[in-house]
Homo-oligomer: A and B are copies of this chain.
Amino acid sequence: MSVTRVTIKDVARSAGVSIATVSNVLNGTGRVSADTVRTVRRAIQELKYSPSQAARNLKDKKSRLIAVIVPLLHKGFLHDNPFYWQLVGGIEEGARAHRLHIMLVGADSEESYSFVKERHLDGLIVIGAFEGSEALERIVQWGVPSVFVDSYLADPNVYQILSDDEKGGYLGTKHLIDLGHRNIALLTGEIEPNGVHEARFLGYRRALKEAGIGYRPAWAVEEPPTMEGGARSVPRILALQGVSAVFATSDVAAMGLLSGLSERGLSVPRDLSVAGFDDLPYSRFATPPLTTVAQDIGLKGREAVRLLQAHMDNKEPPYRRKLIPVELKARQSTRFLEEGEGEPVDANEIRKGGDG
């Protein structure tokens, strides 16, 4: 039970050298004769010694530990969007490659972040922070190396990894327009200034404008980017006269929508075309397989670590803000709108339909 730790002293004694020498062979520092190196190495092997990070931290003020800050949806609960798991998976992978460990912390707006100093964390990856939040201020002010993912911060000095959200919004909408749709609803998370959803919303508007389609505010339906939110949006969407397609700014919302529509006996894409955003592993297994704007979430995580590492090394990286490319994946949840199918869905008519 009580782990009698093997320390550098034990190794020194066993090898018949000083602890400074052991430290030197451990770190490849100083000048040490090949013979001594060998002896020390052997002692290390025999004693199964591995140096205490805790002691090193104290000396170096380096922990080789970074924190990954994930937003808490409601108090005490990690956001249940599998997107985060994908992203954290990518970060974990990147961290492993850089010989870093990650501390996962779910944080709400009241988080003090005192652990950053207390644990001598080398860096931070913050997911979905918002401009002007107190926490953010604090972090930037401390000067702890940080990378913000999906955060849209105006400060040009801040390191950021984002998806090309505006383009994604454009591509998704354009795809529907190309299929002949003109009455396209947007199902989006709250459009906060400088947020991910705003960027996607802007892409939606650009595609609309380019096609000469007027933008109607009521057609941007805001619901939480969750399956519940998507399911709940159904009545609001069906209330839109003539709607033939919906572009959702997240796959989870799109899937909730799929579910809500199916519950009402509506068929996708027959009655309504639906496109999403993210390309979660799920999405191609949805019924029907979901057309979506794909981003490489794992890559996003790995890039975040890469950027952070450069920052921690004080190497000026080639960029401060990196955009992860997006691409449209057309699957079976969207369809070509035939001539004269202007208003395929009539909410009243639907209510008479089957109940699944």
Give A contacts to B, CB under 8 Å.
1, 3, 5, 50-55, 57-58, 61, 63, 65, 68, 76-78, 80, 82, 84-86, 88-89, 92-93, 96, 101-106, 114-115, 117-120, 142-144, 227, 230-231, 255-256, 258-259, 262, 281-282, 284-289, 298, 332, 356
For A78, give its contact among B68, B77, B93, B230 (CB under 8 Å): B93
Partner among B58, B259, B332 whose Cβ is within 8 Å of the Cβ of A55: B58
Verify B52–A54 contact, CB threshold 8 A. no
Q: Are B119 and A53 in contact (CB under 8 A)?
A: yes
Specify which of A68, A92, A332 lies most central, judged by the most chain B CB atoms within 10 Å of its CB: A92
Interface residue from B76, B80, B101 paired with A86 (Cβ < 8 Å): B80
- Asked whether, in the complex, the Cβ of B281 is within 8 Å of the Cβ of A259, the reply is no
A93-B77, A259-B287 as given contacts; A103 in contact with B103, CB under 8 Å: yes
Cα distance A326–B55 in the bound complex, in angstroms: 45
List of B residues within 8 angstroms of A288 by Cβ: 262, 356
A96 and B120 alpha carbons, distance in the complex (Å): 19
Please name 22 pairs of A and B residues whose Cβ atoms are closer than 8 Å in the assembled complex, sorted by A: A5-B61, A5-B117, A50-B114, A51-B118, A52-B120, A53-B120, A54-B57, A54-B58, A54-B119, A65-B119, A77-B89, A80-B86, A80-B281, A82-B85, A85-B88, A103-B104, A227-B281, A256-B285, A259-B284, A259-B285, A259-B289, A332-B356
| A143 with B3: CB separation less than 8 A | yes
Check A104–B85 contact: CB distance below 8 A: no
With A50-B117, A114-B50, A287-B286 known as contacts, the answer to whether A102 contacts B101 (CB < 8 A) is: no
Cβ distance A270 to chain B, nearest Cβ, rounded Å: 11
From known contacts A76-B93, A93-B78, infer whether A54 and B282 are also in contact, taking CB-CB under 8 Å.
Answer: no
Task: Check B285 against A287 for contact (C-beta < 8 Å).
Answer: no
Which residues on the B side are within 8 Å of A144 (C-beta)? 3
State how many angstroms separate the Cβ of A15 from the closest Cβ of chain B: 20
Alpha-carbon separation in the docked complex, A106 to B332 (Å): 34
Minimum Cβ distance to chain B for residue A212 (Å): 34
The residue among A93, A117, A258, A285 with the most chain B CB atoms within 10 A of its own CB is: A285
Which residues of B lie under 8 Å from residue A256 when comparing CB positions? 285
Contact of A57 among B57, B105, B106 (CB under 8 A): B57
16 more A-B contacts (CB under 8 A) besides A3-B117, A93-B106?
Answer: A3-B144, A54-B54, A65-B103, A65-B119, A68-B104, A77-B89, A77-B93, A77-B298, A92-B104, A92-B105, A102-B103, A103-B104, A104-B104, A258-B285, A282-B282, A286-B287
Tell me, in angstroms, the Cα distance from A65 to B5 when the chains sit together.
Answer: 18
CB A200 to nearest CB in B, in angstroms, measures 21
B101 near A115 (CB under 8 angstroms)? Answer: yes
A85 to chain B, nearest CB (A): 4
